[in-house]
């Protein structure tokens, strides 16, 4: 039987990337993308369905015949759980690319209901969160004991994700957020405490700052660690300085006005459309774990790079969609090159000193 996949928001950069990944790896699947109106011609093998998510009856009808629904219609700070609720009611598998901690926290309260429904519902897939979680889990399973997790993300320009990254950034600058530090939840100011990292080529040095991500919450709940640090930065560095000014100099009340956030997102996206021509639209991530391995203090480091952030999100979500629809699992290994992009892992410890050299 042909398996049916519905991608909500499938005309956006990330949704279209998920559709492309599915068509590449599951060409027999019937993929349908939605939007309020057609903005582009769907690629071969992909159908378009006009759909307004505010129309509850139409959403229910669209979901009913599907084997899998992939929710890519962000920003998720503006979304309720109507789509997830409908999938649970109808026993349809569900994935989303939610990157808003409040949305994900509320969705996780539906765990028992999802178990009772008998399907699979997974939130926050994609690149970060998503692939970033895989990097951390690989490290946790390698070390005998993990004390600290440090996740850092660097996005070049727009990341190829349209205005979505911009809106998400400005929305998360509004509030201090809880971070798990030395065994306790502590309040952290967004875009503070700059750290400079060296990501793999071609990205190099990048400044990163405290940022409220889904992983800041979920990793502290999933693993017995003392500290979880999540930091985000932009390339070129001028965008970091502009974002810092917005986080620390603009009145917070201004950032809580949807019209202003939308205006800032449009201005920022226009700027990146110019710089993207020179800088690219890639992503670099580093997961650094500190703990114990074979009785020795140890640092475990994993990195990920991709030349297009939106395509990387499609890869991450598409991989999980493929696993759901086919039962396929990739054998555990130090390197995984499914889509022609490399994830590299440092050895657990090196130099015979029980501790790897700093990155």
pLDDT for 228-256, tens place per residue? 999 999 999 999 999 999 888 888 787 77
Range list of H helices, the chain: 13-25, 56-63, 82-90, 101-108, 111-117, 132-142, 164-172, 214-222, 238-248, 252-255, 258-279, 309-326
Task: Give pTM, 2 decimals.
Answer: 0.85
CB 177 within 8 A of CB 190: yes
The answer, yes or no, to whether residue 98 has pLDDT greater than 70, is yes
| Portion of the chain with pLDDT greater than 90, in percent | 65
The answer, yes or no, to whether residue 80 has pLDDT greater than 60, is yes
The answer, yes or no, to whether residue 334 has pLDDT greater than 60, is no
pLDDT band with cut points at 50, 70 and 90 for residue 59: very high
In the chain, domain spans: 4-122, 127-310+332-345
pLDDT band with cut points at 50, 70 and 90 for residue 199: very high
Buried b (16+ CB within 10 A) or exposed e, 23-43: bebbeebbbbbbbeeeeeebe
Q: Which residue would you say has higher pLDDT here, 104 or 118?
A: 104
Measuring CA to CA, which residue among 50, 66, 55 is closest to residue 6? 66
Q: Which residue would you say has higher pLDDT here, 170 or 346?
A: 170
What's the CATH fold of domain 4-122? Rossmann fold (3.40.50)
The answer, yes or no, to whether residue 324 has pLDDT greater than 60, is yes
CB 5 within 8 A of CB 30: yes
Mean of pLDDT over the chain:
86
The answer, yes or no, to whether residue 60 has pLDDT greater than 80, is yes
The answer, yes or no, to whether residue 268 has pLDDT greater than 90, is no
- 3-class DSSP state of 18: helix
pLDDT in tens, 134-174: 999 999 999 999 999 999 999 998 887 766 677 778 878 88
**Average of per-residue pLDDT across 305-322:** 93
Lowest-pLDDT choice from 195-199, 229-233, 257-261, 311-315: 257-261
**Average of per-residue pLDDT across 106-121:** 88
- Residue 346: what pLDDT? 43
- Residue 42: what pLDDT? 80
The answer, yes or no, to whether residue 331 has pLDDT greater than 60, is no
pLDDT in tens, 177-194: 999 999 999 999 999 999
User: Residue 102's Cα: distance from chain center in Å?
Assistant: 14
> β-pairing, 4-8 with 227-235?
unpaired
- Residue 1: what pLDDT? 66
The residue to which tokens 């090196």 are assigned: 350
Cβ–Cβ contacts within 10 Å for residue 251, how many?
Answer: 7
pLDDT band with cut points at 50, 70 and 90 for residue 40: confident
The answer, yes or no, to whether residue 340 has pLDDT greater than 70, is no
- Residue 43: what pLDDT? 78
Of 3.40.50.2000, 3.30.70.60, 3.40.1050.10, 3.30.360.10, which CATH number belongs to 127-310+332-345? Answer: 3.30.360.10
Lowest-pLDDT choice from 70-79, 91-100, 223-232: 70-79
- 3-class DSSP state of 196: strand
- Residue 328: what pLDDT? 58
């Amino acid at each position: 039987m042909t398996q049916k996949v519905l991608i909500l928001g499938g005309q956006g950069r990330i949704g279209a990337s998920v559709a492309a990944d599915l068509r590449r790896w599951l060409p027999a699947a019937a993929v349908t993308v939605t939007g309020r109106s057609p903005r582009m011609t769907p690629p071969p093998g992909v159908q378009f369905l006009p759909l307004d998510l505010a129309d509850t009856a139409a959403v229910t009808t669209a979901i009913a015949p599907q084997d899998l629904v992939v929710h890519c219609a962000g920003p998720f700070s503006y979304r309720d759980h109507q789509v997830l609720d409908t999938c649970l009611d109808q026993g349809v598998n569900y994935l989303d690319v939610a990157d808003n901690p409040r949305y994900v926290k509320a969705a996780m309260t539906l765990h028992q209901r999802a178990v009772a429904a008998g399907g699979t519902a997974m939130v926050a897939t994609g690149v970060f969160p998503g692939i970033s979680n895989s990097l951390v889990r690989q490290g946790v399973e390698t070390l005998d004991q993990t004390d600290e997790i440090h996740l850092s993300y660097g996005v070049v320009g727009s990341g190829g994700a349209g205005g979505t990254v911009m809106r998400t950034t400005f929305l998360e600058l509004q509030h201090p957020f809880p971070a798990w530090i030395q065994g306790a939840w502590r309040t952290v100011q967004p875009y503070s405490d700059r750290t400079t990292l060296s990501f793999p080529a071609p990205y190099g040095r990048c400044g990163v700052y405290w940022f409220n991500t889904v992983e800041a919450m979920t990793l502290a709940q999933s693993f017995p660690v003392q500290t979880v640090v999540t930091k985000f930065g932009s390339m070129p560095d001028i965008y970091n300085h502009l974002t810092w000014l917005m986080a620390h100099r603009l009145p917070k009340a201004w950032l809580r006005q949807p019209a202003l956030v939308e205006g800032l997102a449009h201005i920022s996206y226009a700027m990146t459309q110019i710089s993207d021509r020179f800088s690219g639209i890639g992503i670099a991530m580093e997961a650094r774990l500190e703990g114990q391995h074979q009785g020795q203090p140890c640092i475990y480091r994993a990195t990920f790079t991709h030349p297009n952030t939106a395509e990387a999100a499609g890869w991450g979500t598409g991989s999980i969609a493929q696993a759901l629809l086919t039962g396929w699992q990739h054998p555990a290994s130090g390197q995984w090159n499914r889509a022609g992009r490399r994830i590299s892992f440092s050895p657990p410890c090196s130099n015979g000193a029980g501790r790897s050299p700093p990155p």
